């Protein structure tokens, strides 16, 4: 872009909050960098590599859970909300991470897990001790039915009933995930107060935002009504959870009121970014509820692309269309990959087209209206690693083998050096194998190649940052037919058209796309007027 465009972009960016249109880099601590040779990534390792992250051109990092935990669900089972698990380091290490990130101009966001804790949490130990203690109602307890069966038919995400009998209280407790993740009773005002105190603890340490995990599970139906059966939609059902409409064990109408309390607290600290993770069959409605107006969360984390088996123009059009640019509608956050979903390049293309597809995908991702969340290694084009059963770590994968969510295969360590058997991730034995194909895509090898996906990603994220149209502009889908998508982005007097061919055959140039203008970026030999296989081009209209 020319100097005049850069000045206009800077002026436009100055009027928007830092998070709007931001690129956020997700770090999975176990798999980023191991600083002490125990085979598990840690906070000092993250701090040591923040220069690399800043050089990508992202605005912020999202650090997945590092809290004290027995690691039954790898940190999403929190035993101490205010503690750092020793495998990751100390609170002082976290403070050093925040300071270094801020010195580099990076914001820091972290997970908050408010729907459940670990069964090792002190709150649960007290709650289960009897029915009269101060925290007796902090979790979801219920008597057995007359025949001794669970209070309702609710099923857990990871398989089996969502209720476990506890002999100490002589009652069942609810867990929507593992039995070692008891459900908090967020209906209870004291529980809400305690969770908000946790948020304040991290805000006081300099955190700039939160991703709120499994937020639509935070409250349950107090009458404990049975969920109705789900109609057969033709999709495979691999878990009892799939046989129900989750009407009563999640999506309670009281959740938005708790969300308002979270937002009010965060507003006390200025421009804090809050994003909700909301999955499930009713996710679109709930995301709108949790982000409506100026009293709820800033954004919601869309699942549209994460589990899609194919990338299509229709998918992109539907996802973007669900978040129109109109007053009162929230701001979306997008991810093509994360720690729970298989790598996109393994889902969406074959090996023969992988490199070209990765370039096309990167252009599309950087052009979406909303925030974009880059999962570590996505900038390298990492693929899903096949983990043999004997090396599996994920409890979901072990329980549902071989029809698993494949979370281990996307959580493999990041390769830093191609010449090292463990990719420079650790001097010890990595907690999961890296995979030879991914080691060949290591950072050092791509740093040395100007044509690498890493260099392209950097250029795209910088372009997004300085382009008002791409960062915060309106979005109109002009064409979504066959394999071709055309989007028009506009802001601050800048008009940008994005043309993407998602197919492996050449496509006709759509009539809706301009044939003239300044080409900001083009990949796979695309040019104005010509769309070769997997071609993508961004054109600024004069």
Q: Which helix (H) or strand (E) holds 536?
A: strand 536-540
**Would you state the structure tokens that stand for residue 262, as one six-digit string?**
């979270």
Contact residues for 501 (Cβ-Cβ < 8 A; gap 6+): 360, 483, 484, 507, 526, 531, 532, 533, 534, 535, 536
| CATH number attached to the domain at 3-117+187-463 | 3.20.20.80
d(CA 24, CA 50): 13
Answering whether pTM is above 0.85, one says yes
**127 vs 282, which has greater pLDDT?**
127
**Would you state the structure tokens that stand for residue 329, as one six-digit string?**
């509608």
Residues 202-241 have pLDDT tens digits of: 999 999 999 999 999 999 999 999 999 999 988 888 889 9
What's the mean pLDDT in 520-541? 97
Q: Which residues of 510-533 are buried (b: 16+ CB within 10 A; e: fewer)?
A: bebbbeebeebbbbbebebebbbb
What's the mean pLDDT in 83-104? 98
d(CA 378, CA 454): 9
What's the mean pLDDT in 35-56? 98
Query: In this structure, what are the phi and psi dihedrals at residue 127, rounded to the nearest 5 degrees?
Result: -60, -40
pLDDT computed for residue 13 by the predictor: 52
d(CA 135, CA 78): 17
Domain ranges for the chain:
3-117+187-463, 473-540
pLDDT computed for residue 233 by the predictor: 85
d(CA 340, CA 409): 9
**191 vs 280, which has greater pLDDT?**
191
Q: Residue 402, preceding bond cis, omega within 30 degrees?
A: yes
Confidence band for 6, pLDDT divided at 50, 70 and 90: very low
Catalytic residue check, 42: no
Closest CA to 31 of 440, 473, 339, 487: 339
Confidence band for 1, pLDDT divided at 50, 70 and 90: very low
d(CA 468, CA 480): 24
Q: What is the DSSP letter of 172?
A: E
Residues 416-442 have pLDDT tens digits of: 999 999 999 999 999 999 999 999 999
pLDDT computed for residue 403 by the predictor: 77
The DSSP bridge pattern shows strands 163-166 and 171-174 to be antiparallel
* Statement: 473-540 belongs to CATH 2.60.40.10: no
pLDDT computed for residue 5 by the predictor: 42
What's the mean pLDDT in 80-91? 98
What's the mean pLDDT in 452-458? 98
**What end-to-end distance do the CA atoms of the chain give, in Å?**
12
Q: Give the CA dihedral 12, 479, 314, 332, nearest 10 degrees.
A: 10
**Would you state the structure tokens that stand for residue 469, as one six-digit string?**
């149209």
Identified catalytic residue from 3, 232, 268, 390: 268
Residues 332-387 have pLDDT tens digits of: 999 999 999 999 999 999 999 999 999 999 999 999 999 999 999 999 999 999 99
For residue 9, pLDDT beyond 70:
no
Least confident of 107-121, 380-394, 400-414, 441-455: 400-414
**Would you state the structure tokens that stand for residue 68, as one six-digit string?**
């004290």
d(CA 422, CA 39): 10
Catalytic residue check, 268: yes
Residues 165-189 have pLDDT tens digits of: 999 999 999 999 999 999 999 999 9
User: What is the percent of the chain where pLDDT is above 70?
Assistant: 97
Identified catalytic residue from 77, 85, 213, 340: 213
What's the mean pLDDT in 283-294? 93
Q: What is the pLDDT of the chain when averaged over all its residues?
A: 95
pLDDT computed for residue 3 by the predictor: 37
Helix, strand, coil tally for the chain in percent (to 5)? 30, 20, 50
What's the mean pLDDT in 35-50? 98
For residue 4, pLDDT beyond 70:
no
d(CA 463, CA 6): 10
The DSSP bridge pattern shows strands 209-213 and 107-113 to be parallel
């Amino acid at each position: 872009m020319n100097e005049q465009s850069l000045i206009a972009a800077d002026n436009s960016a100055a009027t928007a909050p830092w998070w709007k249109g931001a690129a956020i880099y997700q770090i999975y601590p176990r798999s980023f960098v191991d600083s002490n040779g125990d085979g598990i990534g840690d906070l000092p390792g993250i701090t040591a590599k923040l220069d690399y992250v800043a050089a990508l051109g992202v605005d912020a990092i999202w650090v997945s859970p590092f809290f004290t935990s027995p690691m039954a669900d790898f940190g999403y089972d929190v035993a101490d909300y205010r503690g750092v698990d020793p495998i990751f380091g100390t609170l002082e290490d976290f403070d050093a991470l925040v300071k270094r990130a801020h010195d580099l101009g990076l914001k820091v966001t972290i997970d908050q897990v408010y729907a459940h804790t670990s069964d090792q949490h002190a709150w649960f130990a007290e709650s289960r001790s009897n029915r009269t203690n101060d925290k007796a109602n902090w979790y979801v307890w219920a008597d057995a039915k007359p025949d001794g069966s669970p209070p309702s038919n609710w099923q857990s995400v990871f398989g089996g009933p969502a209720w476990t009998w506890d002999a100490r209280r002589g009652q069942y407790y609810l867990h929507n995930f593992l039995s070692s993740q008891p459900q908090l009773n967020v209906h209870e005002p004291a529980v809400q107060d305690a969770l908000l105190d946790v948020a304040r603890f991290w805000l006081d340490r300099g955190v700039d935002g939160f991703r709120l995990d499994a937020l639509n599970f935070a409250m349950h139906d107090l009458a404990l009504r049975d969920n109705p059966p789900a109609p057969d939609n033709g999709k495979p059902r691999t878990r009892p959870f799939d046989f129900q409409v989750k009407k009563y064990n999640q999506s309670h109408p009281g959740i938005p009121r708790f969300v308002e309390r979270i937002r009010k607290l965060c507003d006390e600290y200025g421009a804090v970014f809050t994003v909700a993770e909301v999955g499930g069959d009713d996710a679109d409605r709930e995301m709108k509820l949790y982000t409506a107006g100026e009293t709820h969360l800033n954004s919601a984390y869309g699942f549209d692309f994460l589990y899609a088996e194919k990338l299509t123009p229709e998918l992109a059009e539907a996802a973007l269309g669900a978040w129109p640019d109109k007053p009162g509608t929230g701001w979306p956050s997008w991810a093509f990959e994360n720690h729970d979903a298989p790598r996109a390049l393994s889902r969406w293309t074959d090996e023969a087209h992988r490199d070209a597809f990765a370039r096309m995908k990167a252009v599309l991702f950087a052009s979406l209206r909303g925030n974009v969340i880059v999962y570590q290694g996505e900038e390298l084009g990492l693929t899903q690693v096949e983990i043999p059963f004997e090396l599996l770590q994920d409890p979901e994968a072990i329980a549902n083998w071989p029809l698993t969510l494949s979370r281990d295969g996307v959580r493999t360590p990041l390769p830093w050096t191609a010449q090292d058997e463990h990719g420079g991730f650790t001097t010890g034995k990595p907690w999961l194998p890296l995979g030879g194909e991914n080691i060949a895509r290591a950072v050092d090898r791509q740093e040395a190649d100007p044509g690498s996906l890493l260099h392209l990603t950097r250029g795209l994220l910088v372009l997004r940052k300085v382009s008002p149209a791409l960062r915060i502009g309106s979005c109109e889908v002009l064409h979504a037919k066959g394999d071709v998508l055309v989007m028009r982005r506009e802001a601050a007097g800048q008009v940008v058209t994005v043309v993407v061919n998602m197919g492996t055959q050449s496509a006709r140039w759509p009539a809706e796309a301009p044939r003239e203008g300044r080409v900001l970026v083009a990949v796979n030999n695309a040019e104005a007027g010509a769309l070769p296989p997997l071609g993508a081009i961004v054109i600024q209209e004069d």
